[in-house]
Amino acid sequence: MSQPAGTETASAAATSASGYDIRPLASAQVAELARSLSAEERRVLLEHGTERPFCGLLLDNKADGIYSCRLCGLPLFRSGAKFESGTGWPSFTQPVHPDHIACVEDRSYGMRRVEIRCKRCAGHLGHVFEDGPPPSGLRYCLNSVSLEFTPVGQDLPRRFTGDPPRPA
pLDDT digits (tens, 9 = 90+) for 87-126: 999 999 999 999 999 999 988 878 888 999 999 999 999 9
The larger pLDDT score, comparing residue 25 to residue 158, is at 25
Q: Is 72 a catalytic residue?
A: no
pLDDT at 62: 95
Amino acid letter, 59: L
Name the strand (E) or helix (H) holding 33: helix 27-34
What is the maximal distance between C-alpha atoms in the chain?
A: 44
The larger pLDDT score, comparing residue 155 to residue 128, is at 128
3-51 pLDDT, tens digit each: 454 444 434 578 888 888 899 999 999 999 999 999 999 999 999 999 9
Q: Which long-range contacts (CB under 8 A, 24 or more apart) does 10-17 make?
A: 10/98, 10/99, 10/100, 10/102, 10/119, 11/99, 13/99, 16/97, 16/99, 16/100, 16/119, 17/97, 17/99
Mean pLDDT calculated for residue range 47-62 = 95
Marked catalytic residue, from 72, 103, 121, 141: 141
Assessment of whether the complete model's pTM goes beyond 0.95 = no
Residue 62 DSSP label:
-
For domain 27-151, which CATH number applies: 1.10.357.10, 2.170.150.20, 3.40.50.1820, 3.40.50.1950? 2.170.150.20
